Amino acid sequence: MSILGSPNNDMLKMFAPRPGRRALLPQLTPEAEVALMCRMLFKEGWNEHIAGHITCRLPDGNVLSNPWELAWDEVCASDILTLDAQGRVIKGDWNITPAIGLHMQLHELRPEVNVVIHNHAHWSGIWANMHRVPPVYDQASAYVDGPLPLYNEYEGTFEDENTSLAAAKALGDAKWALLANHGSLVVGKDLRQAHLRAITLEWRSKRAYEVEAAGGGVPLAEDQIPGVALPDANGFPFLWEAMARRELREDPTVLD
């Protein structure tokens, strides 16, 4: 069973595999896929020490999550926790963050959301601290379209159930959000879709910061962005696998 999602028919026509082509990745367990996601996003700037959490809901209603004690670049498949629908650990040797309530509330409020990612990401975190939404200055920044809300009613960390519920409701049906003076939040139907959204948010934030630091530029118009955006329902073809292979080359023990 994979929790990556699969390409739709249009994408299969565009990127049809050749007969006999090699597998892009070895067969992975769901726990290995989540561990790889942690490693991949760490390199993208979602790397604030041991902060941050990824949850991935399984078809049986249980949820996989990274442990509280470990940084994202050291997580292995055997470290991934299994939670019940209330966020209680039912399998695993580590603890879950007290802020897991935000994730569980989002999973409950939005049945289509199976992946929730939160961290104090580097470049998008800068814009969250400035209480500004980064403009879209280039093609890669426009790979994901739709509004980027700025939730600006910071009341503390997400251990408080009322605070996390207010943030979950404020997201509405958006794909992502900036949390003012806090960090970044991305949701998706599966790991592939959430990966594209997370890396696009960080690229967009980095590129906008660099362009404005260089004196400014001309952002894409709002009506141009949907024409540039990728088929977000299934992420970027082959990109998740390419980034996963990079992690496997650097540290094959991620699958342990």
What one-character DSSP code corresponds to residue 111? T
The phi and psi torsions of 55 (rounded to 5 degrees) equal -120, 145
Q: Which domain does 101 fall in, by range?
A: 28-255
pLDDT of 164: 66
Asked if the structure places residue 9 within a domain, the reply is no
Asked if the structure places residue 219 within a domain, the reply is yes
Asked if the structure places residue 197 within a domain, the reply is yes
Q: What CATH number did the domain enclosing 75 receive?
A: 3.40.225.10
Asked if the structure places residue 127 within a domain, the reply is yes
pLDDT of 207: 98
pLDDT of 66: 98
Rounded Cα–Cα distance for residues 122 and 43 (Å): 11
Mean pLDDT of each 10-residue bin along the chain, 256 residues long: 63 51 91 98 97 97 98 98 97 95 92 96 98 97 96 64 70 92 95 96 98 97 94 79 97 98
3-state DSSP assignment of residue 64: strand
Nearest to 65 by CA among 16, 122, 26, 106: 106
pLDDT of 3: 79
Contact 185, 176 (CB under 8 A): yes
- Number of domains forming the structure of the chain: 1
Asked if the structure places residue 2 within a domain, the reply is no
Residues ≥6 apart with Cβ < 8 Å to 204: 124, 134, 136, 137, 140, 141, 142
Contact 198, 41 (CB under 8 A): yes
pLDDT of 63: 98
The phi and psi torsions of 116 (rounded to 5 degrees) equal -130, 130
pLDDT of 22: 80
Q: Which residue in the block uniquely carries the two structure tokens 């997370």?
A: 198
Asked if the structure places residue 169 within a domain, the reply is yes
**Structure-derived torsion over alpha carbons of residues 12, 33, 256, 78, reported in degrees to the nearest 10:** -150
Q: Are strands 150-151 and 176-179 parallel, antiparallel or unpaired?
A: parallel
Asked if the structure places residue 113 within a domain, the reply is yes
pTM to 2 decimal places:
0.90
Nearest to 109 by CA among 196, 167, 179: 167
CA distances from 103 to 96, 154, 185 (A): 12, 17, 10
Contact 71, 144 (CB under 8 A): no
pLDDT of 12: 44
Asked if the structure places residue 20 within a domain, the reply is no
